Amino acid sequence: MENQASINKLLEYFEKRVSLSEADKALIASLYKPVKFKKKDYLFQQGEICKYQGFVTKGTFRTYYTDNKALEHVLYFAFEDWWVGDIASFYDHEPSGLNVQALQDSELLLLNHADSEKLFNAVPALEKVFRVIIQRHLTVLQKRFLMTVSANAEERFLELLERCPSIEQLVPQHQIASYLGILPESLSRMKKQIAKREKGL
Amino acid sequence: MENQASINKLLEYFEKRVSLSEADKALIASLYKPVKFKKKDYLFQQGEICKYQGFVTKGTFRTYYTDNKALEHVLYFAFEDWWVGDIASFYDHEPSGLNVQALQDSELLLLNHADSEKLFNAVPALEKVFRVIIQRHLTVLQKRFLMTVSANAEERFLELLERCPSIEQLVPQHQIASYLGILPESLSRMKKQIAKREKGL
DNA sequence: TAAAAGTCTTAACCTACATCAATGAAAGGG
DNA sequence: CCCTTTCATTGATGTAGGTTAAGACTTTTA
């Protein structure tokens, strides 16, 4: 994507939430760096410090965790106009427990920690925007957690399809299984069951 | 607890994180209202709007969700010096999906939304304190979620004991089971297994 | 202080999902 | 274009934790 188009995407995103002066916009454009990611490239990996907050201007990312049995668990997907990063690692400069990886050729606008301080000092309204983003993020994760402990895999899958109907076009099925907290084999079987039931109707 | 002692507990909490003038402290003391809760009393229930952020000065609370099969799932416990509330409901004035209930006779310092705006305007440093609290909250929940999908109930139980060794003295066992995402019967069985194994050594 | 409500344990049985293994199809890289 | 890797599917079998039911013990309430 052409760089100016990327920045415009971000400016549009901000302007839906807060009004910005021309100077604000120029500052934003000067601080966020567009970076391309090939499929499977990482923004950072488990054990590294997350040095950038990323805004997805193109493509798809997954944030995942590798457990001590070497199994991967998808915590989030991020599509266009979403954010990627690890807040704890970014703000506290401590190693992240997460991996952020491109699922296809993608593009991010990156902001480092020093520049984020500059930005917040110059445009305090943005600090509030990010507070709201984090709050919504927390709320979504709470719902996800409660869904995981209160519903079975099929209910979680159907809820996901409802909340994000195009998910099956966007990411491979074994990544969806990982997001749902089950194995690819289980998801495959489950879909077969659902299809059989629907044919029965 | 005597009211001044409650307020002092809160001031101590804040002063560990930020320095406050005497005027700041007086404002805090005037805005936070001490309220007593009997065992089983609610701060709010599912469907209600969360009108207060609460700071626990005495006792214990649980935040839980009741699913469509009428099963309860504990999302958090809150002990002394912790916060209770539902951020999404508090800030967006929308009905909460959660319940916050005292597990014993307890006491909170409550701040309503209008007063929180007053407070943040007068003492901007506190807004940052709360941003950090929310960030830490999010990080803790992420770890909890990943633990739930990557470890079995016994591993989660042992991790909880390590992280919070006095938990078994503080809350009844069936609440711990609910926090772990299993039934009380399963936890009972599991503890027996663990005890048997330890005796074998 | 009697009745009721809440809590913990045990046991037999069941089910959702994991595990292991094999196959074919599709995608990607040299 | 072939060769390797990735991905989806299916079947057989295993198991952690759910379900149901019952009994004992404790705490609360009237």
In the DSSP assignment, the letter for residue B28 is H
Tell me, what's the pLDDT at B26? 97
pTM of the complete model? 0.95
Q: Is A115 helix (H, G, I), strand (E, B) or coil?
A: helix
Distance between CA atoms of residues A131 and A186, nearest Å? 38
Question: Is residue A2 predicted with pLDDT exceeding 90?
Answer: no
pLDDT in tens, B39-82: 999 999 999 999 999 999 999 999 999 999 999 999 999 999 99
Which 134-163 residues of chain B touch chain A by CB within 8 A? 134-139, 141-146, 148-151
Nucleotide nearest to B175 (CA to C1'): C7
H helix and E strand count, chain A = 9, 8
Interface residues, strand D, Cβ cutoff 7 Å: A 172-174, 184-185, 187-189, 191-192; B 39, 152-154, 181-183, 185-186, 190
**Packing angle between helix B153-163 and helix B173-180, nearest 10 degrees?**
120
Rounded to the nearest integer, the mean pLDDT of chain A is: 95
pLDDT of A73 over the 80 cut:
yes
Is the predicted pLDDT of residue A1 greater than 80, yes or no? no
CA distances (Å), origin A170, targets A77, A78, A173, B33, B37: 10, 10, 9, 50, 49
Query: In which band, very low, low, confident or very high, does the pLDDT at A138 lie, cut at 50, 70 and 90?
Result: very high
Residue B170 has a pLDDT of 95
User: CB closer than 7 A to strand C: which residues?
Assistant: A 39, 152-154, 181-183, 185-186, 190; B 172-174, 184-185, 187-189, 191-192
Q: Residues A13-40: what's their mean pLDDT?
A: 97
Cα–Cα dist B160/B153, whole Å: 10
Tell me the percentage of chain A whose pLDDT exceeds 90.
93
In the prediction, which pLDDT does B197 show? Answer: 87
- Give the pLDDT confidence score for residue A199 in this predicted structure: 72
Look at the block and give the residue holding tokens 């659902």: A194
More confident residue, A141 or A199: A141
**Cα B168 to Cα A154, A181, B45, B103, B164, distances in angstroms:** 34, 29, 25, 13, 9
| Mean pLDDT score, A111-131 | 95
- Model pLDDT, residue A3: 80
Which residues make Cβ contacts (< 8 Å) with residue B172, sequence separation at least 6? B103
User: Which regions in chain B score pLDDT beneath 50?
Assistant: none
CA B147 to chain CA centroid, nearest Å? 19
CB A66 within 8 A of CB A99: yes
Longest dimension (CA), chain A: 62
Express each pLDDT in A35-53 by its tens digit: 999 999 999 999 999 999 9
Closest residue to D28 (CA, C1′): B39
User: Is the confidence at residue A136, as pLDDT, over 70?
Assistant: yes
Mean per-residue pLDDT of chain B:
95
Position B198 scores a pLDDT of 80
pLDDT at A197: 87
Whole-number pLDDT of residue B1: 63
Neighbours of B53 (CB within 10 A): 23
Residue A200's pLDDT band, with cuts at 50, 70 and 90, is: low
Strand C positions closer than 7 A to protein CB:
6-12, 16-21, 29
Is the predicted pLDDT of residue A114 greater than 80, yes or no? yes
Structure confidence at residue A4 (pLDDT): 82
E runs forming strands in chain B: 33-37, 42-44, 52-58, 61-66, 72-78, 83-84, 99-102, 106-112
Which residue in B17, B73, B145 has the most chain A C-beta atoms within 10 A of its own C-beta, making it the best mutation to test that interface? B145
Q: Are A53 and A90 in contact (CB under 8 A)?
A: yes
pLDDT at A25 over 70: yes
Question: Which pLDDT does position B54 carry in this prediction?
Answer: 98
